[in-house]
Structure 1
Amino acid sequence: MVVRQTLMVCVLAVLAYLGVWWAFSGTDEPARTAPESLFLTDYSKAEKGSCVRFEGPGENDLGLTVVDCGGGRAALKVGTVLTATSAECPRGDYKVLRDTRHDAALCLMPNAARGDCFELDTDDLQRSVVSKFDCAAPRVNVQVVDVAEESCPEEAELGVPYEDMTLCLRRVR
């Protein structure tokens, strides 16, 4: 008799919990915000305009994390998401990461605004480690003069073209 009563109380408790859960699990609930950082294992899920950083010892596809673009360590931004690893990036000097497991690729460009300073190889962005630093850092070798729609101003020493804009840089040190 005691076992039967205990079992009935447990069943009623579970039913009450499910009833409360069902009553409050409607679509009126506010949407959850995205986590501050998201580890990205499927490049086809990336969004144009998202910023990424690499975890670990080097830039590789095993440690790509989506981060807030306003953060100081957000050196790279997704310019384009390709739906096939064989596809080519649009006009521009992109750093390309290919995800053969999901047949997708990312065309990455510096997450740059006027005044930002970077360490990057302007001759070969594809092989360059792109790092954003405070402009006083000894590793800095370029500063963003402008992010222009077409041509760069005179004070820019070089322009790095992309699909929607040109990154105007001057050498530092």
Structure 2
Amino acid sequence: MVNRVAARHSVSAAIIRSVVVRRTVMVCVLAVVAYVAVWWMFSEEEEPAQATQAFVTDYSKVEKGSCVRFTGPGENDQGLTVVDCAGAKAALRVGTVLTETSGACPRGDYKVLRDTRNNAALCLMPNAARGDCFEYDTGDLQRSVVSKFDCAAPRVNVQVVDVARESCPEEAEFGVPYEEMTLCLRRVR
């Protein structure tokens, strides 16, 4: 009788161990799947894939119409990355590439970055479309940090009313002229 009880106890213990091991393995697998799912959801970038971005070390190699963002802690390091113009961080567009650092940008209120090492300069303007909102000093674009934001952001001070060929519509408070267009803006705050 003792052997039967011991045998039943042994079988019961083996079944319980088997169930515990299976549940432990299942919990571990589910934890790994959940971790991968959370990592994937939060690792999505606002910008297009890295393959479409390129760090710029020679301004003469940048093409007119490309969009750039500053790389590093601030604009003063003048490290630039060429990015997709549709990206959320593409606040600046190359209006003109100058082949000499002493050259002047065409008509317009451009932000100028000079590359003395490669004797080139970039004339940058906001990468703007109707409805876009920016924070920048409209009185001194050269010194301004041009940043594109969601229009509800507290830092926004201007909104693009239109990108016109010539004159701005009536709802625009002022226009910022460039060689090929006029950026029509209204103050937000």
| Shift of residue 61, structure 1, vs aligned partner | 4.9
Aligned residue pairs: how many? 140
Distance 1:83 1:123 in 2: 27
| Shift of residue 56, structure 1, vs aligned partner | 1.6
Between 34-43 and 122-131, the greater mean CA deviation after superposition: 34-43
Aligned to 2:64: 48
| Shift of residue 60, structure 1, vs aligned partner | 3.1
* Structure with bigger gyration radius: 2
Amino acid at match of 1:159: G
Distance 2:117 2:159 in 1: 36
For residues 29-40 of structure 1, what are the structure 2 equivalents within 5 Å? 35-40=51-56
Unaligned runs of 5+ in 2: 1-49
Q: Which runs of 4+ in 1 moved over 6 A?
A: none
Aligned to 2:8: none
- RMSD (CA atoms): 1.1
Answer yes or no: is the 8 Å Cα contact 2:68–2:82 preserved in 1.
yes
2:148 is the alignment partner of 1:132 = yes
Answer yes or no: is the 8 Å Cα contact 2:136–2:144 preserved in 1.
yes
Aligned to 1:112: 128
Aligned to 1:83: 99
Distance 2:186 2:128 in 1: 13
Determine which of 90, 98, 102 is the counterpart of 2:118: 102
Aligned to 1:66: 82
Q: Partner of 2:60: helix, strand, or coil?
A: helix
Unaligned runs of 5+ in 1: 1-33
Q: Partner of 2:52: helix, strand, or coil?
A: coil
Distance 2:117 2:124 in 1: 19
**Residues 112-132 of structure 1: per-residue CA shift (max 9 Å, x gap):** 000000000000000000000
Distance 2:158 2:103 in 1: 30
Amino acid at match of 2:51: P
| Shift of residue 172, structure 1, vs aligned partner | 0.4
Amino acid at match of 2:128: A
Normalization by structure 1: what TM-score?
Answer: 0.79
Percent of aligned pairs with the same amino acid: 84
Distance 2:95 2:163 in 1: 14
Distance 2:146 2:98 in 1: 21
Normalization by structure 2: what TM-score?
Answer: 0.73
Aligned to 1:159: 175
Aligned to 1:6: none
**Residues 27-81 of structure 1: per-residue CA shift (max 9 Å, x gap):** xxxxxxx931100000000000000000122113542000000001100000000
Q: Partner of 1:52: helix, strand, or coil?
A: strand
